[in-house]
Amino acid sequence: MKVAVLSFAHVHAATYVELLRDRSDVELITTDPDAPPGDPTRGKALADVLGVTYRGGYEEVFAELPQAVIVTSENSRHRQLVEQAAAAGAHILCEKPIATTEEDARAMIDACEQAGVSLMTAYPVRFHPAFTALRHTLADGSLGSLLSVHGINNSSPPGLERPWFADPALAGGGAIMDHTLHIADLLDVLLDGDQPTHVYAVANTHLTSDHEDEPKVESAGLLTLTYANGLVATIDCSWSHPSSHPTWGGLTLTCVGQRALVEFDAFQPLLDGYDTTQATTRWEPGAVDLNEAMLDSFLTAARTGQRAHPDGETGLRTLRTVLAAYESLRTGQPATPSCTA
């Protein structure tokens, strides 16, 4: 299967390339025509470091008729690339957020439906076997009805590695846009697509330093979501980890039910400690590779023609929660996601 990675803008692009390049069932091509000139972390320079085939532009890639593409451009450029890929007949995995506006997300979904191709949103955490167990615990009644959920998705500021994450025009926002979505997707799974009736958000830039190369958008955020059945959920989406932290970040979910409490940690370490010889923290991951699991699911859907999940509609529902959070920030009042207006 010919697979194309479109843009190296997102911090996850290189990870996807590394997971795909040595697969015997994949012929991988890449392109990153929007890379800043001379940037060693983008464009052909990065493709050469990764040892993968590089093409000069998107049109050149689409002319080769890839069966599947992965869109890892800046957030606001997703629509253009998804529409081009759909027109070329390729199945699509789009990095989250699916878009920065509801209009763009809906246009992307419609374009893929009309072309008869799958549009999958990149939410790898839902593929964690421990989350599958949590989902089954809720489904079989062991947990009872959910009363509250507290989600945390923290990391160091991605703008330190990719400055566009701190550009609202390209990213659509800061920490709220970047880190609300994974938790929102897990809630979407647990609640069978039910969306919050109200979203209240607070945020600040207190974690932003005075250095010019660090983020100027919101760096810390806390959302409160209420649902029609009385469930209350909170999401801490802050870029609160220092650059010296042993991992890029972390993601946890605490679910309080009528019968039990369940705690899910997506990146629980196999080994955690301190190395006195190097004065560094030792951390070895113990979980499955979630990105690999997501890519396997996407490639299977592309080969078989099955609908990929999480799909574009999932991406739109979770985006609506984020957009409601920004509306709440603007007004200082709880906001209603557009789907329930």
Of 277, 286, 276, 210, nearest in space to 247 by CA? 286
Residue 245's pLDDT is 73
The DSSP code for 116 is T
pLDDT in tens, 113-153: 999 999 999 999 999 999 999 999 999 999 999 999 999 99
Q: Are 237 and 153 in contact (CB under 8 A)?
A: yes
Higher local confidence (pLDDT), 31 or 250? 31
Q: What is the pTM of this model?
A: 0.92
Average pLDDT score, the chain = 92
pLDDT interval class at 249 (50, 70, 90): confident
Task: Return d(Cα 321, Cα 341) in angstroms, integer.
Answer: 12
| pLDDT tier for residue 174 given thresholds of 50, 70 and 90 | very high
Question: Dihedral through CA 152, CA 156, CA 160, CA 162, nearest 10?
Answer: -40
| Average pLDDT, integer, range 275-292 | 69
- E-strand ranges in 36-90 read 53-55, 68-71
Q: Is the predicted pLDDT of residue 207 greater than 80, yes or no?
A: no
pLDDT value, residue 283: 53
Between the CA of residue 216 and those of 118, 211, 327, what are the distances in Å?
35, 10, 19
Q: Angle, nearest 10°, between helix axes 13-20 and 290-304? A: 70
| The pLDDT value given to residue 341 | 39
Helix (H, G, I), strand (E, B) or coil at 214: coil
